Chains A and B, each alone.
Chain A
Amino acid sequence: MDLSLSPAQQLLQNSARTLLQQRCPPERVQELALDPRGFAADLWKEIATLGWPGLLVPTELGGSSGSVGDALALVEEMGRACFPSPFIASAIVATAALTAAGGRRAQALLPALAMGERICALATLEESARLDPGALALPVAAPGRLTGRKLFVPDAHVATDVIVLGRGAAGPTALLLPMDRTGITARPLDSMTGDKLFELEFAGVETSPDDVLGAPGHGWALLAPAFRLGALARSAEMVGAAQRVLELCVEHARVRVQGGRPIGGYQAIQHACADLFRDVESARWLMWEAAWKLESGRPDADAAVASAKAYGALACLRVARRGHQIMGAIGYAEEHPLHLFHKRILAAGLDMGDATLHLEAVARAIGLA
């Protein structure tokens, strides 16, 4: 048993914390959230020079072949800073899928993703909003023409490439398309979370067999492990964000004086802070246990990830919601960062399968018929 980050992971986390504290303060996050096309291009370049987007890319393709744990340690810090970026979609989920798929197109794209020069989006959800192979309706044929739409596609405005999962004759099929292929239109969805979500419309987009990622009909099998990794990364992001909410609340409770003493000296506030601590810590260690199960290839890893994502979403949202009560009126103001963390947790909880979806996976894992 070793419930600690490796020295290299600690180093990564510390340098990420320092960088993001300096370069991604709450004011910057706020500015990016309020701008409908907000993207920190400068910061993305900066983290690219540090090699973050290439963390999971194989060494021979220009990355550093990092471990799942390395990526999660980094993402936890990104959550703590509420750093908005396409990192999880591009550098974790798409990178994992492309690495698993192999082939000429994937191998050509991965070095550019590692350098941060290209960004790959994921187009999976449709009107049903269910991350489920049975819910895929977009007809895919390659060669052929792609017509239809995808919803809730994050960061399509900055993506250079997109993985589209649709229904082929042989079953779920994944395509890798450049975003500038004729017939692809991205329309922003106005989301209260400040995340940049898009509707992707495909109007007779020409496809060739070369666009197929992996084998036709095997798209779900190819992407499911990448989604699992994405769910874990979103869990780590939520834990990081909830950790920051806890810190903000405790700091506030120490310095805010009412009735002649800090409000943190009153049991009502103390007990609320204690509950935040319980929720953050339990979500964090459940996430790390799932990460360990995934990395060591244990048979119950899928259920553990589902459990960590479902629990993390509910527990971290509890933290944010209770945080508003501790913080008092100032936390209701747009200029205060609390709502940014709240909304990030909300968005992360919905991405890569919401609590409802993951709880159904847990229901099956505990043997419910």
Chain B
Amino acid sequence: MDFGLSGPEQAFADEVRAFLQAHPPETFPEDGTDAGYGSGAHSHAFTRALGERGWLSMGWPREHGGQARPMSYLLVLLEALAAAGAPFGPVSGCLQVSDSIIRHGSETLQREILPRVARGEVTFWQGYSEPGAGSDLLALTTRARLDGDHWVLDGRKIWSSHAGIAAYGTVLARTDPGSTRNRGLTMLMVDNRLPGMDVRPIRSLTGQVYHYEIFMDGVRVPRDWVMGKSGEGFGQLLKGLDTDRFWGRFYKAPFLRRILGLLVEYANTPVDGGPSLARDPVVRRRLAHAATEIAALRALFYRAAWLIERGQPATGPVSAAKVMADELGQRVLSMGMEILGPYGVLRAGSRWARLRGEIEHQYQTSWGHTLAGGTSEIQRTTIAVRALGLPAEPRGRV
């Protein structure tokens, strides 16, 4: 058993730390809201800064301009960024889409898009969910038909993160009109600027915009802006599901550790000259208990990472880590609200806000996490059926 970093990995960790010291995360302008997953706000400038250091493409094969570094480097990078509260919101989406382009993308896509991802110039949205296809994703009705050298795309996608400030989206569409369920689906790459695209913001309960709804009306997508062959969409989706879920949540543990640190700092501050909250045995025990849960979550993510890197089945640990990350996040932020009492509800910028108003925002975002990227119910069913081998529930027919 070895949970440690190798010499070169440690050197890289030091390099990341030095970068964060030289370029304090809070000095980068932010373009999009912090959705609370641990990857901070969306910042084009920060994404470019990561690109300048070659960190966005370091895991790619050399023929695509990468450095073929093992997955552990990415773990080191994202953990350090999350611990520092850096605004790397779009990075995990970039990693997922670029991985998909490298594996399935046409030569055109690889040539056109990958170098710009590596430089941190472009970010992506993912178009999976539809108004009538949420947990039952395969009920999707967005369709694309071939017309000469173009796919003509019609339909509606929803809950796509940061779509309004991204350059491209990956859209899962039905390309075989007679198909149902998992057959006849294809993943297309769509440029936001194409005629017929209408990207509309959805204001969330936080008062900010993170999600978008995308209306596609006769959008003409070049024929080779497609992932793999038509009809391979579902297979690609399945193949990428574990890694998508992993990279969408991995930084939750260091993020929660940072939040816990803020709460410890708050609890240590004496109130009105009296004893601090840290001396309250209930508060003390709850904070300590949360610390153990966060540590356990991190260990579970590392186990999942180890399996993923070896190409071993990781569905169980990945889905378990996602469920745990999102539910633990809700518990930690709820505890934060309780500890802050009446101060907890004051927004960032309010004169009396405590801990920079961060708790209220992250508390609110946390209620979306057990829904996004597959609900906790879907994850639990996945664990039961795919990892534990329990029989699948019969699918209802309406």
Q: Which residues of A contact B (CB under 8 A)?
A: 1-5, 69, 250, 253-254, 261-262, 264-267, 269-271, 273-275, 277-278, 281-283, 285-286, 288-289, 291-293, 295-296, 304, 307-308, 310-311, 314-315, 356, 359-360, 362-363, 365-369
Contact = CB atoms under 8 A, between A and B. Distances in A.
A127 to B, nearest CB: 21
26 contacts: A1-B3, A1-B4, A1-B6, A1-B305, A3-B306, A4-B306, A69-B1, A253-B390, A262-B390, A267-B377, A271-B380, A273-B388, A275-B380, A281-B303, A281-B316, A282-B300, A285-B302, A292-B3, A293-B3, A307-B295, A307-B296, A315-B296, A363-B285, A367-B261, A368-B287, A368-B288
A307 B4 contact: no
A310 B377 CA distance: 27
Interface in B188-227: none
Contacts of A296: 4
A307 B253 CA distance: 15
B296 A286 contact: yes
A291 B267 CA distance: 30
Contacts of B317: 281
A362 B285 CA distance: 9
B316 A366 contact: no
B300 A285 contact: yes
B291 interface: yes
A2 B394 CA distance: 40
Contacts of A253: 390
Interface string B69-85: 00010000000000000
A291 B1 contact: yes
A249 to B, nearest CB: 9
B271 interface: no
B320 A282 contact: yes
Q: Which of B5, B6, B260, B390 has the most CB of A within 10 A?
A: B390
Contacts of A1: 2-6, 72, 302, 305-306
B320 A277 contact: yes
Contacts of B67: none
B381 interface: yes
A291 B2 CA distance: 9
Nearest to A246: B388
A353 B4 CA distance: 27
B296 A362 contact: no
Contacts of B268: 367-369
A295 B4 CA distance: 12
A273 B390 contact: yes
A277 B387 CA distance: 9
A296 B289 CA distance: 25
Given A3-B302, A281-B316, A285-B299, A366 B288 contact: yes
A5 to B, nearest CB: 7
The 7 closest A-B pairs by CB, nearest first: A270-B384, A285-B299, A264-B390, A274-B383, A274-B380, A311-B292, A278-B320
A262 B385 CA distance: 13
Contacts of A286: 292, 295-296, 299-300
Contacts of B274: none
Given A289-B299, A291-B1, A366-B264, A271 B289 contact: no
Q: How large is the interface on B (under 10, 10 to 19, 20 to 34, 35 or more residues)?
A: 35 or more
Contact of A250 (B264, B379, B388): B388
A321 to B, nearest CB: 17
A265 B392 contact: yes
Contacts of A362: 288-289, 291-292
Contacts of A5: 1
Contact of B381 (A4, A271, A277, A307): A271
A116 to B, nearest CB: 27
Q: Which of A4, A277, A278, A308 has the most CB of B within 10 A?
A: A278
Contacts of A360: 284, 288
Contact of A274 (B3, B293, B320): B320
B325 to A, nearest CB: 11
Contacts of B267: 368
A368 B284 contact: yes
A281 B292 contact: no
A267 B378 CA distance: 10
B323 interface: yes
Q: Which of B276, B287, B306, B388 has the most CB of A within 10 A?
A: B388
Contacts of A266: 393
A4 B302 CA distance: 12
A356 B324 CA distance: 23
A272 to B, nearest CB: 9
A344 to B, nearest CB: 21
B384 A310 contact: no
B118 interface: no
Interface in B249-285: 260-261, 264-265, 267-268, 276, 278-279, 284-285
A3 B324 CA distance: 20
Q: Which of B261, B267, B296 has the most CB of A within 10 A?
A: B296
Given A274-B380, A286-B299, A368-B287, 13 more contacts: A267-B393, A270-B393, A278-B323, A281-B300, A281-B317, A282-B297, A286-B296, A289-B3, A311-B296, A363-B285, A366-B287, A367-B264, A368-B264
